[in-house]
Amino acid sequence: MNIALTYTCNQECAYCFGHDAMDEYQGRPSRNFLSMENLDKVLSFLEKSSVYELQMIGGEPTLHPDFKGIYKRVTERGFRVMIFSNGVIKKEIVDFLKAQDNLTSVLLNIREPKEYSISDWNKILYTLSQLGERVILSFRIYRLGFNPTFLFDLIERYHLRKLINWAMACPSLLHDNVFLPLEDHIKAVDRMIEFSVQSQSRGIDWYSDSGFIWCAFTDGRSQILKERVGFIPDTNCYPALEVAPDLRVMRCFGLASKCRKDLKLTDFDNLKEVELYFFKKSLPFKRIGAMDKCFHCEHLLSNKCGGGCMAHILRRMPNYRKLPIIF
């Protein structure tokens, strides 16, 4: 489960699909920062569900004014923690995390170096140099001309985990972010294949995150990536299950505008109930698919593919920005 500590962020990624949620919460401190009281409710809920791991997300979660206190509370109660971060972290927080023996990993979402200021890039390099093998780099594809070779260099230079998380940028429903049209996904996969040779030679494996569609991996593409770098595309758009600082629960923060504002984590007895709720709400739309050809696709019908990101599917609807609450 993803626990949003805050929706405050210190970056402006062109592909960010979280502005629907961020706009709603930023500027309202009472709702934008997770309180200790609400944190304890989340932890008790997870304990009741026999789940002892969680992801701290944002915005940028390390911007929470009591990040250290939250981290200590979570780990003292026996939870394994993964932090989703952009790597532009204050030195004080990096040094704190370095000293934590119980830190599982930091999934560090990173862009190409030319997209950062010198100051922010240096902060990222400090984060990498201090946290080392506990860092997994995550790269989101939002244009065709991407060049991931810098990832391989960073992994070797700073002794990071020899693993890269790949994802396709997802569209926003209320904002005009940057993402690849679905018809270009196969070109993006071909470019991934091009760079997979170098990754293989350096012993760096890949794994799949969200946003992929199965038809981009036809004609042996999937097998090539699996054999070279262990990459198996995840082509189902499962509910991410995000809990906001005010305990509102959402399918994912990219779909915040289509999720009930009054639906709280405490309205459910356990995590399986939450998963079932969003699964049932999502099913009618998954059968539509993100493209016309999805409707009769054997991969969609057999659940091998989820028909694309749910945001892509909803954007097919007339006046999609004015759609009523769905989830």
pLDDT at 104 (0 to 100)? 86
Run means of pLDDT, 10 residues per run, the chain, 327 residues: 97 94 83 97 99 97 98 97 98 97 93 98 99 98 97 99 97 95 97 98 95 95 98 93 97 94 98 97 90 90 89 94 94
Please say whether the structural domain 2-281 has been given the CATH code 3.30.70.270: no
Long-range contacts, 265-271 (Cβ 8 Å, 24+): 265/41, 265/42, 265/45, 266/41, 266/45, 268/45, 269/48, 270/45, 270/48, 270/49, 271/1, 271/45, 271/46, 271/49, 271/51, 271/241
The pLDDT tens digits for 256-291 are 999 999 999 999 999 999 999 999 999 999 888 999
Domain boundaries defined on the chain: 2-281
For residue 167, the SS3 value is strand
In one letter, which amino acid is 247?
Answer: L
What's the CA dihedral at 169, 224, 128, 123 to 10 degrees?
Answer: -30
Q: Tokens 């400090």 label which residue? A: 126
pLDDT at 271 (0 to 100)? 98
The pLDDT tens digits for 134-161 are 999 999 999 999 999 999 999 999 999 9
pLDDT at 80 (0 to 100)? 96
Between CA 156 and CA 159 the distance in angstroms is: 5
Q: Tokens 């998380």 label which residue? A: 165
Q: Find the helix or strand (DSSP H, E) in which 136 lies.
A: strand 135-141
Between CA 148 and CA 109 the distance in angstroms is: 13
Question: What separation in angstroms does the CA of 262 have from each of 2, 32, 271, 286, 291?
Answer: 18, 16, 18, 24, 32
